[in-house]
Structures are given as C-alpha cells and as structure tokens.
Chains A and B, each alone.
Chain A
Amino acid sequence: MKKGLCRLRSAVPSVAWDMAVAVVLLALASLGCWLLLQHTGAENNSALVYVLAVVLIARYTSGYGYAVAAALVAGFCTNYYFMYPYAQFSLELTGYPVAMLSMVAISLVVCTLTAQLKIQAEEAVRREKNTRTLYELSERLGREKTAIQLEKDREAIRSSILRGVSHDLRTPLTGISGAAAVLLEGEGLSERDRSLATDIKNDADALITMVENLLSVTRLQAGDTAIRKEPELLEEVAGDAVMRFRRRFPEARVELILPEEPVSAPMDALLIRQVISNLLENAARHSGAPETIRLTISRQGELAVTEVTDGGRGLTEEVLAAVAQGRDLAASAGGDSSRGMGIGLAVCRNIVLAHGGTMEAENRPGGGAVFRFALPAEEMEASE
C-alpha cells in the first residue's frame, strides 16, 4: 500500500499531488464531522477533526501554502456547516469568533511547526545521503590511490634496480679501464701485452658507454618529472660531447660548425650530450670513414637543429626505414658491423622524443650519412 502510494506520488506532478492530498483530507475531515454531527448534534468537535486534517496536510504536502489554505477552509467549513446556525456563516453568537480564530491560529502554528520539522527531516536525510556518497567516494579514491601507488612502487623498484645494476657495473668497469690505462702508461710492456691491454681498455670503455645508455633510459622511464629541462646553449653541449668523443676515438676527426648566433634550447644537457655522443660514435664505428665527421648546429625557424654527417658508405635501407618509422633496430639488424648501433639509436630517439623533438636519417647525395635531430628552440635574451 505504502509502496503503491510512493509509486503513484512519484508519477504525479508535485503540485497536483499536494492539491489532491489537501482536498482528500479536507473531504475526509468533512465526512467525519458530518457523521459526528448526526450523533452529537450541536456539541460536536468538528474543529478538532479539522485541526487534525490540517496537521496531516502540513505533513504530507510541500511548504506551508496548502496547510494555511486548508486551515482557512476548515475554519470556514466548521462555522458554515457544523455550527449553529447550519449552512450559514456566523460570527455573532458569543464565543464563535474566539473559537474560529483560535482554530485557525492553532492550525497555522501547528502547520508551521510541522513544515519546519519536515524541512529539518529532509535536511537530515540529505546530509546523510551526502555523507554516504562522500564516504563511498573516499573509499573508491583510496582503493584507486593504493593501486596507483602499487604500480608506481613497482615502476620505482624496477628502475632503481636497473640504476643500481648500472652503477654497480660502472664502478668495476672504471676500475678495469683505469687499470688497463695504468698498464699502458708503464714502460717495458711487450707488443703483445700492449695490444691486449689496449683491447681490455677499449672494450671496458665500450661497456661504460653501454651502461651510460642504460642509465639514460632508466632516467627517461622514471617519468617526465625526471627530465629537468633548462635552457642550454647547444654549442656547449655539443662541444663537451666532441671533447669526450675525441678522448675515446683519438683516430677520428670531428669538426664542430657553429651558427653565427648562439642557439639555445630547453633540455637535460646530459641526455642531449648522450644523443650527440651516440650519433658521433655511430659515425665513427659504422661509416667506415671516421675522419670525415661533421657536427653542425643551426637554427631553423623555431627549431634548434643538430646534424651529424659523415662521408662514409652511407646507411642501409634497413637503418633508414627503422629511423623513419621509429622502430627499434636492435632486433632486425644483422651482422657484427652494426652491433650496438640499434641500442644507441633507440636511446637517441627516446631522449629526443622526450624533449618534444624529432629525429631523422638520410643518405647525402654526395655520399655518406646524415643524422639530424631538432628540438624546440628557446628565445635568447638580449645580451646585456
């Protein structure tokens, strides 16, 4: 029954519902009074019955309006139908005005109180609902946060393991390379021992480069926040890369060509140095012409462009396609000559992409290869 009423209530517009409630209750009250009148005569309690109806109307309609209207109607009805003289409105008999007014006043006060109670009750219900929603929300957030935290922790553990391994590799490798260097500097080494010590040193140095690449990758994977970009002069980064490169490849020759105006770009200087080092090393190892390397810095519109060219044998279709499509080369490249090239290029591409830049490779018409990467340039301030 109650359910049915509720369903009906939600189906009917609220104004019509309220009106209906008021009319029905008043009609029931009138019917009750009429029945009472048959039994008790003039001394009936119709006023109290009407007050009850008004209270119920106040309870089951929204706002004061219906109850106030009902109170006035009830006052009129009591007087008109159920008090002597019947079917006639009269305020002349002693006590009638007081009774009328009291009844209306009581009805009004009661319906005001009821309305207030109702508002408070509704408020309480709403608040409870809000609280529950908030609670559920915070519970869900908590669950999601835990999941994110777990994923983050896993990621952090992974990269800290990788970094730890890289660091732990670097220290002994420094020791191996250093010890070999001490051997090479000493006197009285036979030709055979000297060549072996040179191999040890070169391979240790190559492994150190590999570890540097691994470290760069872990730094990238630690998320965007790990890259701290600051405006740097490209020529300073390139100059540093070239100087390091010369130490490792004394037989190679690199020319650094500078633009007239210095070019600056926001970057993590060590990572961009790694890119340039890798490109130079690729040219030295794989071009077949390590004495023809050129590193050119220029500004092209909004871009800071760095180019590594060589006059060697050029790039295979495989390498060109891999760079163009942003594929990793490591798995596809066969042959010993390109050993290490894939990893180096993949690291380069990832670093450049993380800086919002682009990288491309092509063969020069006159022979030899070009690797080019562009970063968004930074406007230079006035120099004074």
Chain B
Amino acid sequence: MSETVILVVEDEATISNFICRALVSAGYKTLTAPTGREGLTLFFSHRPGLVLLDLGLPDMDGLEVLEQIRSGPEEETAVIILTARDRESEKVKALDMGADDYIVKPFGVAEVLARIRTCLRHAQRLRSAEGERRERYEIGDLILDTASHQVFAAGREVHLTQNEFKILELLCLHPGKVLTYDFIMRRVWGPYSGGGNQILRVNMANIRRKLGENPSEPKYILTELGVGYRLLEES
C-alpha cells in the first residue's frame, strides 16, 4: 500500500494541503498540481495509482482532464472526482465518462480516505479479473447465487422478483462503485425503458424492505442522492 502514488489536482492550496497531509499520514505518496495542464503532465510522467481531480480548475474543465486521462493507455488508473454539492448532472457525466467515484465538497478526511481505499481495492480486483460475472457473490453477509437464483441476507433467505434480483446482481458485480440510475435502468429494463426512473426507485424500496434495511443505517445498499446506488463493501 505504501507504494501507491496519488495525484491531487486541486487549485485551492488549503484543500490540497490538508488532503496531502492526511494521505501521507495514511501511508501514501502524493503529487500535487494546481492546474489541469500540470495535472496531465504529472499524470503521464509519473503514472500515479489514483487521481483526485477537482472539477473546478482555473485553466481547463475538469471533465476535459478526465477525458484525456481516460483516452491514454492507463485505463485502469482510478479517478475520484471532487465536486461541489449542487451539480448532480456534472457528477453523473463524470461517472459516465469513466470516473470511478466522486466526493462532494465540503468533505472530511475520513471520507476521502475511505473512498480511496475502496477505489484502490476496486482497481486491484479489476486487474485480477475478479470483477467479471460469477455464479455466486458474497459481500459481507449478503449472498447472491445466480445459478440457483437465491439471495441470503444475514443467513435468511430473501425472495426477490426477477427485476429486483437483476438490480441486486448488477450492484454485486460492481461492489463499492456508484451505479447511476440510467446505467441500472438500461441494464435491467433495456435501452428503451423510457425516461423516468421511478420504477427503479420502487424496486429499490422493495429490495430494502425485503433485506430488512433502513436507508439511514444501510448495511448493503447506499443511496447516492440524485445520482444512483452503491453496494457497500466492508472497509
């Protein structure tokens, strides 16, 4: 873990300063860039393991930086977006463009570190090809068996409908990652599923009730307001 280099692209010195200190004391190496251009230069010369990217940069749009990072050969590098609160569409866009996660300003140190850990684990799993479809997923005490079409939560069998099962399976396929409403809608209901995602919300509410889950104390599924859902991993 101590070998992981994290590139922080953030124009506010105070913020990049406290992030870097927290990262260093957590055992990471850091690089900082106050502009998008410097960020890209450092990215291509140092090949960091993870990038924290602020979307509000002085010289270029953060999404543009993301696009250039994603167009290079370093596809598996995790990118976490730092963004302001009232920009749902920006978050969704960044996720669609290949960002692994996002953190909303104002954020705390603990949150940043937790997200980084999840992302790095994700990236490692991706490299070891564990992220592919499997017959059985075990995430915490949630077990999903695609062969027998069974779901167990805390040792108790849970009966889900076809679509509820598909949603949960999709989330299990990407543990720890935010899946946008659109992404889930397309994968479960098909590309012509229409505009609204109300049906997904209702299904999710039913899944929660069947899993015995309260959204204020999520054990399995986390709501990302206005963006989508995320399956929680133990961290």
B161–A175 CB distance below 8 A: no
A178–B12 CB distance below 8 A: no
Asked if A177 is at the interface of the complex by the 8 Å CB criterion, the answer is: yes
Asked if A231 is at the interface of the complex by the 8 Å CB criterion, the answer is: yes
Distance in angstroms from B19 CB to nearest chain A CB is 7
Distance in angstroms from A284 CB to nearest chain B CB is 15
Asked if B126 is at the interface of the complex by the 8 Å CB criterion, the answer is: no
Q: Which of A314-341 contact B (CB under 8 A)?
A: none
Q: Choose from B15, B204, B215, B225 the contact partner of A174 (Cβ within 8 Å).
A: B15
Chain A residue at minimum C-beta to C-beta distance from B107: A174
Q: Choose from A181, A235, A237, A380 the contact partner of B109 (Cβ within 8 Å).
A: A181
Distance in angstroms from A272 CB to nearest chain B CB is 10
Main secondary structure of the interface of A (DSSP, over half): helix
Q: Mark B76-92, 1 if CB is under 8 A from A, else 0.
A: 00000000111010000
Q: How far is the CA of A182 from the CA of B106 in the complex (A)?
A: 15
Q: Choose from B105, B109, B206, B215 the contact partner of A238 (Cβ within 8 Å).
A: B215
B225–A269 CB distance below 8 A: yes
Asked if B110 is at the interface of the complex by the 8 Å CB criterion, the answer is: yes
Q: Mark B183-225, 1 if CB is under 8 A from A, else 0.
A: 0000000000000101101111110110000111110000101
Cβ contacts A to B, 22 pairs, < 8 Å = A170-B105, A170-B106, A172-B14, A178-B18, A179-B17, A185-B25, A231-B201, A235-B215, A236-B204, A236-B215, A236-B223, A239-B216, A239-B223, A240-B215, A256-B214, A256-B216, A262-B206, A270-B85, A270-B88, A380-B198, A380-B202, A383-B206
Asked if B42 is at the interface of the complex by the 8 Å CB criterion, the answer is: no
Asked if B163 is at the interface of the complex by the 8 Å CB criterion, the answer is: yes
A236–B201 CB distance below 8 A: yes
Asked if A283 is at the interface of the complex by the 8 Å CB criterion, the answer is: no
Asked if A384 is at the interface of the complex by the 8 Å CB criterion, the answer is: yes
Interface size on A, residues (CB 8 A): 45
B225–A173 CB distance below 8 A: no
Asked if A208 is at the interface of the complex by the 8 Å CB criterion, the answer is: yes
B225 proximity list for chain A (CB < 8 A): 236-237, 240, 269-270, 273
Most buried by A among B21, B22, B198, B214: B198
Q: Mark A179-205, 1 if CB is under 8 A from B, else 0.
A: 101100110000000000000000000
Q: How far is the CA of A170 from the CA of B56 in the complex (A)?
A: 13
Q: How far is the CA of A212 from the CA of B106 in the complex (A)?
A: 10
Asked if B27 is at the interface of the complex by the 8 Å CB criterion, the answer is: no
Asked if B140 is at the interface of the complex by the 8 Å CB criterion, the answer is: no
Q: How far is the CA of A219 from the CA of B108 in the complex (A)?
A: 25
Q: How far is the CA of A231 from the CA of B200 in the complex (A)?
A: 12
Q: How far is the CA of A167 from the CA of B25 in the complex (A)?
A: 29
A215 proximity list for chain B (CB < 8 A): 85-86
A247 proximity list for chain B (CB < 8 A): 108
Q: Which of B83-129 contact A (CB under 8 A)?
A: 84-86, 88, 105-110
B86–A219 CB distance below 8 A: yes
Main secondary structure of the interface of B (DSSP, over half): helix
Asked if B58 is at the interface of the complex by the 8 Å CB criterion, the answer is: no
Q: Which of B37-57 contact A (CB under 8 A)?
A: none
B17–A175 CB distance below 8 A: yes
B22–A182 CB distance below 8 A: yes
Q: How far is the CA of A177 from the CA of B109 in the complex (A)?
A: 9
Q: Which residues of A contact B (CB under 8 A)?
A: 167, 170-179, 181-182, 185-186, 208, 212, 215, 219, 231-233, 235-240, 242-243, 247, 254, 256, 258, 262, 264, 269-270, 273, 295, 378, 380-381, 383-384
Nearest 5 Cβ contacts at the A-B interface: A239-B215, A175-B14, A262-B205, A242-B216, A174-B106
B216–A383 CB distance below 8 A: no
A179–B14 CB distance below 8 A: yes
A185 proximity list for chain B (CB < 8 A): 22, 25, 109
Q: How far is the CA of A176 from the CA of B209 in the complex (A)?
A: 40
B226–A269 CB distance below 8 A: yes
Extra A-B contacts (18), CB below 8 Å, given A167-B84, A381-B202: A174-B107, A175-B12, A175-B17, A178-B15, A178-B19, A178-B109, A181-B109, A182-B109, A208-B106, A231-B201, A232-B201, A236-B225, A256-B215, A264-B198, A270-B85, A270-B88, A383-B202, A383-B203
Distance in angstroms from B176 CB to nearest chain A CB is 17
Q: Choose from A171, A172, A235 the contact partner of B205 (Cβ within 8 Å).
A: A235
Chain A residue at minimum C-beta to C-beta distance from B218: A239
B208 proximity list for chain A (CB < 8 A): 235
Q: How far is the CA of A168 from the CA of B15 in the complex (A)?
A: 13
A295 proximity list for chain B (CB < 8 A): 216
Chain B residue at minimum C-beta to C-beta distance from A242: B216
Distance in angstroms from B202 CB to nearest chain A CB is 5
Distance in angstroms from A253 CB to nearest chain B CB is 11
Q: How far is the CA of A256 from the CA of B107 in the complex (A)?
A: 24
Distance in angstroms from B183 CB to nearest chain A CB is 17
Q: How far is the CA of A25 from the CA of B172 in the complex (A)?
A: 103
